[in-house]
Amino acid sequence: MRDIEIGPIRPPSESNSLLIRVTRGCHWNKCYFCGLYKSMRFSMRPIDETIEDIRRQAQLNRGKKITSCFLQDGDALVLKTDYLLRILNAINQNFPDMQYITSYARADSITRKSPAELKALRQAGLNHLYSGMETGSDRILKLINKGFDVDTVVKSGCMAKEADMILSEFILLGIGGKELSEENAVQTAMALNIIQPDFIRVHATGIKPESKLGEFVRDGSFTLQSEEEIVVEQKLFLQQLHEMDSYYVNEHIINLLLEVRGNLRTEKQEMLSTIDRFLALPTNEKLLFTVGRRLNIFFLLDDLKKPELHQEAEKNLQQILSKNPDVDFAALCNYVRQSQI
Ligand code: SF4
């Protein structure tokens, strides 16, 4: 008997969800920063096979209350609406407790659907889309070969909200390099202020050496930001975001300040204060925290106050400096970040 097919990726927030693979890979697969599905050829799974997986998952999970499910891989919204409706119906029939069915969705896949199609999908249970807008700057979208522009990002976000779907937008801090850092912060906030998504999920960029962006770093056209510069970019971004009912979250281990999360209407100032607390540290403590975070010694800013963790981070920092006194910490931290995705 064929094994149930599971794809390689899901959003961090879907760690407890049932995974149903409807496509393999990403049909675009051309973003210059992304290596997630590079080794995979895109294909749509035959519908009978996917529905059979749903039935078998239901048998395996008999007696368990399954309430959430994520449709894999990179952009299930690229599928025809009829196909998706059949999948959603099969999920609902086999999992009567299902409350959330979620999927990645490229902005241009959302805008290719009509408002009526999005509403039909929502009514059939698809109620949360994760969309990787990455940035609100047209220049950066072009630089990273995202394949759509900011108008499409804004239109898609508004369409998803109009269809009453929960919308998560993924943002990449540092994706414009030093050159376009301010533009990334300001223009991304401008787009999000219009969309007002339910979740703003920020990730620090980790550039893989073998990616096209890695080439840009080597040829000098893209300058990596230090961890501190990415935090400064985050501060400007957060300042520009309106106080709206969106939940802002640093949810991935790749981010330096994991405690910066909260509702923008009620907790924006608290989040900015946390960022300021980091930026106000003496230079050597900022570096220590950064290196300690990247080595998984520290997780939260308060860990700096724990003597045993502080000592361990200091020991590791000294070892790094004794081996290479001229170490480029921006490059070193980027190296660690890219290894975490
Ligand atoms: S970032 Fe998303 S759309 Fe771009 S290549 Fe990767 S999976 Fe595809």
Using a 6 Å cutoff on CB, does residue 25 contact ligand 1?
A: no
Using a 6 Å cutoff on CB, does residue 37 contact ligand 1?
A: yes
Whether residue 272 is contained in a domain is answered as: yes
Q: What is the atom index within ligand 1 of the atom nearest the CA of 73?
A: 7
Domain extent, residue 206, equals 105-280
**Tens-digit pLDDT profile for residues 64-123:** 999 999 999 999 999 999 999 999 999 999 999 999 999 999 999 999 999 999 999 999
Please report which confidence band the pLDDT of residue 213 belongs to, taking 50, 70 and 90 as the band edges.
very high
Amino acid 25: pLDDT: 95
Whether residue 336 is contained in a domain is answered as: no
What value does the mean pLDDT of the chain take? 96
Whether residue 95 is contained in a domain is answered as: no
CATH code at position 177: 3.30.750.200
Q: How far is the CA of 112 from the centre of ligand 1 (A)?
A: 17
Whether residue 140 is contained in a domain is answered as: yes
Whether residue 242 is contained in a domain is answered as: yes
Amino acid 103: pLDDT: 97
Whether residue 259 is contained in a domain is answered as: yes
Q: List Cβ neighbours of 149 (8 Å cut-off, separation of 6 or more).
A: 138, 141
Q: What is the atom index within ligand 1 of the atom nearest the CA of 34?
A: 6
| φ/ψ (deg, to 5) at 265 | -75, -40
Using a 6 Å cutoff on CB, does residue 107 contact ligand 1?
A: no
Amino acid 39: pLDDT: 86
**Tens-digit pLDDT profile for residues 13-57:** 899 999 999 999 999 999 999 988 888 999 999 999 999 999 999
Ligand 1 pocket mutation, candidates 27, 31, 129, criterion most atoms within 8 A of CB: 31
Specify whether the CB–CB gap between 141 and 150 falls below 8 A. yes
- Listing DSSP states for 183-237 in one string gives HHHHHHHHHHHHH--SEEEEEE----TTSHHHHHHHHTSSPPPPHHHHHHHHHHH
Specify whether the CB–CB gap between 9 and 35 falls below 8 A. no
Amino acid 55: pLDDT: 97
Amino acid 1: pLDDT: 74
Which residue blocks in 80-195 are alpha helix, DSSP H?
81-94, 107-111, 115-123, 138-143, 150-162, 181-195
Give residue for tokens 């850092």: 181
- Between the CA of residue 325 and those of 218, 267, 317, what are the distances in Å? 21, 41, 10
Q: How far is the CA of 33 from the centre of ligand 1 (A)?
A: 9
Name 170's bridge partners: 201
Q: How far is the CA of 29 from the centre of ligand 1 (A)?
A: 5
Number of domains making up the chain? 1
Using a 6 Å cutoff on CB, does residue 31 contact ligand 1?
A: yes
Q: What mean pLDDT comes out for the span 123-130?
A: 97
Amino acid 291: pLDDT: 95
**Tens-digit pLDDT profile for residues 265-276:** 999 999 999 999
Amino acid 320: pLDDT: 95
Whether residue 125 is contained in a domain is answered as: yes
Whether residue 288 is contained in a domain is answered as: no
Specify whether the CB–CB gap between 33 and 205 falls below 8 A. yes
Q: What mean pLDDT comes out for the span 172-196?
A: 98
Amino acid 38: pLDDT: 85
